[in-house]
Structure 1
């Protein structure tokens, strides 16, 4: 896809050379809310952009109901639980067909920000807390979409992890955390799939707005990753338009009329903005405009029924079986047991998030009607609403629910988060579901021992009743066909195969950002560093409610025979990992195989383990398959802030494989050698101990230590001491050595009162370069 954009660069540059300054400035801002400007004199068309990470939202007016009917697919938090890039690619292709049918050239999605806190108001739009998983799922989405001739607008770049004060807040994040956690998901998506556009976020990064951030938009995005498309602002994210152009922001959205257009013209005229730079930025946008306009398919249509069926299949692969005590599920479809269906969400489901991603669905299914259809009618079913759509219950509603549950053989309670509890625009204040939902589950479980809870929510929640119910389905926000998919899972028509792409903590106080989320006073301090999600829970040895990568099935799987292509490798070589996984149960199922890497003796504080490979394997009962992964240098590396690049520390690395981050039965280590040792340059600010391991500096290490140690060392046996005195002497010597090790070398001049001179220090530094 990047080659396609490159193919249009020459044409774009040729057109730019014919444009007036006014025409160039015109293209830098949108024509209203969704379109770019035309330049009819030169035959330059406009293109249309529309919201839609999980469904097309082509607005015909200000309200969701005014948008075109479109298939509402599961949200990103649900789709990520499928761990299935191929499936997500299919959804991307379907979204493109619907965009083509509605003359939309670029879709504003997918979202690829990390779930730093489970309280993030927009978490339902993002894939994961893990950048490796999120990056590969995002790349699959983009490939599926752009393979059908519709551009992806990857968002929100970057470090956009809270809704509170999102237009002005500054994300204060260190260099290593930025490169190890918040950039890799975007990097994978860009290098593997080349989205036509990237949307920069509202926030600042370390004090600089994303829309004016040269480090992000040029140094990293274009120079390091090779991004070929254009950068568009989030809607209203532009502050200083001229600074934005200098930093690499191509398009301002929505249009600002002639306000910023005049500022661009004035800046060029005054010599503050080189016209050559403006030409570069205009050409970058124009190349994609030309590409996108030529990929239009006039008269395109899509199959509404087929897309609804795909949405149901995708939802079925996204619903997680979190608990199934006594194998209560699946339900017996041919039996006579009475089932109480309780909770308003069963008939009036919450199936999508709130905010700019809201879709006007082509149809909606609900779990109650779909269950009745599978069971052959409503004879075995009863219903009680239990609460209103805001989650408020009453004594009367609770009593009705109790009676229905008491008179049934099994109760299924539908609960979760109403729209008002999670949405774009604000963050959640609690991990709890509404009190009315919790009270309903308690009331039902007290009178019905066989209680199933089906959840409808976009992000992690607490479950104070987890020990009092027998089965739990995480039903997410699974789109317009979610009701049918839930019925498929409950009745065993579909064997659950989804697993958590984010950790469910037991309580808010256990989360890595508990004391720092959301960032207040326009600053969000990322004090937890690289330890978000499972990385934090592992490092702190905290048991979550449900761990990252967890999910049950109606069958069981066994892992065996982990082997490597070699016991040791150079960091320039790849490592092939093989293992076997077998379906040891009685029904067909799919297992998500996860591989994690752990460094044995890191030189910086690293997570206990990190996800580096995964695949989803379909297995018939008794079937066994060989799974193969390939690991490369980056899978063993950390981001070295001294060198400002990725480094590998030579030594032992453990490879751990299994079915979740807390269930990894296969373990084996490999030795990784470094072909060319990376050396940090020594300076007058280097610590004495840094000379000890440096290939040239180690020659001078004894001299440097000797300056501080002075007479602290002596020949063995030169002085007679008691054992206690000798121990005291050695302790003092060790203390002095530690003091010397942690001292910047320039201080040796002061501590020696000039005996170790500035000239001597400079001579040593010259010889170690």
Structure 2
């Protein structure tokens, strides 16, 4: 009737039924005697008849999840949520997955699901803020602050590292065999490792195009600054915000360096059809690496590249320059 929407709820799975965190108990009765198969069957029945399906799940603060006293044992969603999502995807193609977590999760069903909203932990206004985004009252414009790996084996701590720590010991010694190559730096170095979602990734309800970036000089000295400029245009039909990222690549170094390193980012708000110039100004600090033998930051003369990107894996333009 009019703009009214009927919302039908089905549980789908049972998580932590205690409702307890750090001694605080919600007081809700979260227990359910039905089997996982019965819960999924109910969710599928409801989903089949719906115009749209919104699955809300993710991690909580229980042990081995987004808690502070124990590590996660894997990237998978707990409580067999992957089974629920896959069943819903088969029942209704108009499925939106809202993932509530402060960490990356694996998404083996990603090819079956048309849209995923990463919600983080939103606090007491979570319902209102999620509704505002899902109904289109707000155009989301966030970008991922870390890499979402596709598999646990793609994380360097697992492929070359030592994990888990033996927490029975009073002092836990961890050896970081990956060195400085963590996050997007590891994905860049490995090349064959394709993240589920790269660092800096984020979509919105509009689209943006990037112009060709330019620099105000081709050669800079250690006492200089250099400025890079790029034009961003909103090519969609909604106001939106884009986070433009600047990475620097050192083409030749005496010590191992990442393929590229984030050195700046700016969020720009654009009306439909509007375009703005975004500028980044850096000095030798953005070109430097730490030399442990000299115990100093070193800006080594040579060739560099400024990389303008929408994410660590979505490069929009490259500007070569030189440090004398």
* TM-score, with structure 2 as normaliser: 0.89
Match runs of 1:324-473 below 5 Å: 376=4, 379-390=5-16, 394-420=36-62, 421-473=65-117
1:647 and 1:518 map into 2 onto residues whose CA distance is 35
CA apart distance, 1:571? 1.5
Q: How many angstroms does 1:468 deviate by?
A: 0.9
More strand by share: 2
Distance 1:594 1:418 in 2: 31
The yes-or-no answer on 1:581 pairing with 2:232 is yes
1:519 aligns with 2:165: yes
- Between the aligned partners of 1:407 and 1:618, the Cα distance in structure 2 is 39
Partner of residue 296 from structure 2, selected from 645, 665, 680: 645
Q: Determine the structure 2 residue equivalent to 1:620.
A: 271
Contact 1:504 1:548 (C-alpha < 8 Å) held by counterparts:
yes
Asked if 1:540 corresponds to 2:166, the answer is: no
Larger Rg: 1
Q: CA deviation at 1:419?
A: 2.0
> Quick one: which of 125, 130, 142 aligns to 1:486?
130
Superposed CA offset, 1:566-590 (max 9, x none): 1100022111111111101110000
Deviation at 1:445, TM superposition (A): 1.0
In 2, the alpha carbon distance for the partners of 1:593 and 1:670 equals 20
- Contact persistence 1:657–1:665 (CA under 8 A): yes
Please give the alpha-carbon distance, in whole angstroms, between the structure 2 residues aligned to 1:443 and 1:572: 60
The alpha carbon displacement at 1:558 in A equals 0.8
Structure 1 residue 530 corresponds to structure 2 residue 180 = yes
How far off its partner does 1:617 sit?
A: 0.3
> Which structure 1 residue ranges, 4+ long, deviate > 6 Å from structure 2?
none
Give the Å deviation of 1:642.
2.5
Superposition deviation, residue 389 in structure 1: 3.2
Q: How far, CA to CA, are the matches of 1:562 and 1:404 in structure 2?
A: 50
Q: CA deviation at 1:518?
A: 3.5
Q: Distance in 1 between matches of 2:121 and 2:312?
A: 24
* Correspondences of 1:221-260 after superposition (within 5 Å): none
Matches within 5 A, 1:102-113: none
2:318 and 2:6 map into 1 onto residues whose CA distance is 48
- Alignment partner of 1:636 is 2:278: no
State the distance in 2 between where 1:573 and 1:584 align: 36
CA offsets 1:306-357 (integer angstroms, 9 cap, x no match): xxxxxxxxxxxxxxxxxxxxxxxxxxxxx98xxxxxxxxxxxxxxxxxxxxx
- TM-fit CA distance, 1:422: 2.1
Higher helix share: 1
Q: Residues of 2 paired with 1:549 and 1:638: CA distance?
A: 22
Counterpart CA distance in 2 for 1:479 and 1:408 is 28
TM-superposed deviation, 1:387 = 1.6
Match of 1:601 in 2: 252
Q: Is the 8 A contact 1:654 1:669 kept in 2?
A: yes
- Once the two structures are TM-superposed, the CA of residue 530 in structure 1 deviates from its matched residue by 0.4
Alpha-carbon distance in 1 for matches of 2:54, 2:146: 25
Counting only pairs closer than 5 Å after superposition, residues 614-693 of structure 1 correspond to structure 2 as 614-673=265-324
Residue 23 of structure 2 is matched in structure 1 by: none
Structure 1 Cα separation of the partners of residues 87 and 6 of structure 2 = 21
For residues 419 and 661 of structure 1, the distance between their equivalents in structure 2, rounded to whole angstroms, comes to 29
Task: Give, in angstroms, the shift of residue 548 of structure 1.
Answer: 0.2
Structure 1 CA distance for aligned equivalents of residues 89 and 216 of structure 2: 52
Aligned-residue CA RMSD in angstroms?
1.6
Q: Counterpart of 1:158?
A: none
Distance 1:665 1:618 in 2: 18
Partners of 2:90 and 2:211 in 1: how far apart? 42
Q: Secondary structure of the residue that 2:8 maps to in structure 1?
A: strand
> Which residue number in structure 1 is paired with residue 27 of structure 2?
none
Counterpart contact for 1:519–1:525, Cα < 8 Å: no
Q: Determine if contact 1:518/1:524 at 8 Å carries over to the other structure.
A: no
Once the 2 structures are TM-superposed, how far is the Cα of residue 517 of structure 1 from its aligned partner? 2.7
1:418 Cα shift? 2.5
Aligned residue for 2:201? 550
CA–CA distance in 2 between the matches of 1:655 and 1:643?
A: 27
Do the aligned residues in 1 keep the contact of 2:238 with 2:272 (CA within 8 Å)? yes
Q: TM-score, normalised by structure 1?
A: 0.38
Counterparts of 1:389 and 1:461, CA distance in 2: 16
Contact 2:208 2:234 in 1 (8 A): yes
Instruction: Find the residue that maps to 1:580 and give its secondary structure.
Output: strand
Q: 1:646 Cα shift?
A: 0.4
| Cα offsets for 1:446-489 (capped at 9, x unmatched) | 11111111111110010111111111101111121121111111
SS in 2 for 1:615: strand
- Checking the alignment, whether the CA contact within 8 Å between 1:562 and 1:667 is kept in structure 2 is yes
Distance in 2, Cα, partners of 1:519 & 1:573: 46
